Amino acid sequence: MSTETPTIEKTSCIFCNIVNKLENTEILYEDDDICVFRDIKPASDYHILTIPKRHIDDAKCLISSDKALVEKMLATAKELLTKNNLSIEDARFGYHWPPFRSVRHLHLHTIAPESKMGTIAKMIFMKNSYWFASPAYVVSRL
Ligand SMILES: [Zn+2]
Ligand SMILES: [Zn+2]
């Protein structure tokens, strides 16, 4: 009989691999439902991604039973800002809106300070644009 422990295989989804600790990504926060790590291309001094551990393609795929999950994602991101002495007021939060998305695994961008974002970053993560949706808008659809 084999005594080998089952190995978790890498998937094509990089964020699922991060959740499963298959990437060399520093996890800033995690619990049973969510995981937080730094964006590899920071748009300001502090730029984190908050993701659900369960694979969800994007914000359009969310259903009403996911409401508590997305609310927890935002609350956790805000807590991390506070812990890092960053202002929640001077921060930008949002989700890519399909078909405009980078990685196909739901993630909440949190960027602070918002006032230090460059012109291109402001375009990519433009407030209430049709490619970058606010957490309030995402929750309002559920
Ligand atoms: Zn995934
Ligand atoms: Zn993104």
Is residue 130 in some structural domain? yes
CATH number at 94 reads 3.30.428.10
pLDDT at 4: 64
Cα angle 70, 68, 113; round to 5: 35
Is residue 10 in some structural domain? no
Number of residues written out for the chain? 142
Q: Can 96 be counted among the known catalytic residues? A: no
pLDDT at 132: 95
Ligand found nearest the CA of 59: 2
> By the 8 A CB rule, do 81 and 112 touch?
yes
**Count of C-beta atoms within a 10 Å radius of residue 35:** 23
In angstroms, what is the span from residue 18 Cα to ligand 1's centroid? Answer: 9
**Count of C-beta atoms within a 10 Å radius of residue 118:** 10
* Position 15, amino acid: F
Distance CA 80, CA 58 (A): 23
Q: Specify the higher pLDDT residue, 55 or 8.
A: 55
Is residue 13 in some structural domain? no
% pLDDT > 90, the chain: 87
Specify the number of domains making up the chain: 1
Is residue 3 in some structural domain? no
In angstroms, what is the span from residue 58 Cα to ligand 1's centroid? Answer: 10
Q: With bands split at pLDDT 50, 70 and 90, how would you rate the model's confidence at 102? A: confident
In angstroms, what is the span from residue 103 Cα to ligand 2's centroid? Answer: 6
Is residue 33 in some structural domain? yes
Report the predicted TM-score, pTM, of the whole model to 2 decimal places.
0.93
pLDDT at 101: 72
pLDDT at 115: 97
Ligand found nearest the CA of 57: 1
Distance CA 123, CA 72 (A): 27
From 47, 96, 107, 109, active-site residue: 107
Is residue 8 in some structural domain? no
Task: Please identify which residue in the block is written with the tokens 């606010």.
Answer: 134
